[in-house]
Amino acid sequence: MMMPQAMVSKIAIDCILSKGSEGLQGEGCIYALSSSPPSITGPETLHPGDYVKLRLWLPDDESSAIYIDLAEVQWVKHQWVKLDLLLTSSKDQARLREFIAPTTQAVPLPHRMWEQIVIRA
């Protein structure tokens, strides 16, 4: 699938995931892909509506990352960025759902909880 040029991300974020009371949270670094080699940048370079790529690491599985090919910035506040996860493989979606799923199956997952992430950079 070809993405429109406006949706091709010039920013990538690497982070380690954790479960917060509101859903997925992460702590990581923001990289500007337009420089060679990619340079670390801050959340002030992001704006609502920007598109980014993500590489997420689960704390109990450091052997393979979850790749989000496309995520959209919802808001930026100080060192925090909220993203909607837009494009990822079905295998990685299943890994995210499993990671955030409650330990008891009696409690359903809130709508879209696994489709959003708040990252501290």
pLDDT at position 34 over 90: no
Q: What is the mean pLDDT of residues 12-41?
A: 88
Q: How far is CA 7 from CA 49, 50, 81, 112, in A?
A: 10, 8, 18, 22
Two tokens at 49?
Answer: 């509506």
Instruction: Quote the pTM value.
Output: 0.82
- Least confidently predicted of 4-8, 15-19, 29-33, 37-41: 4-8
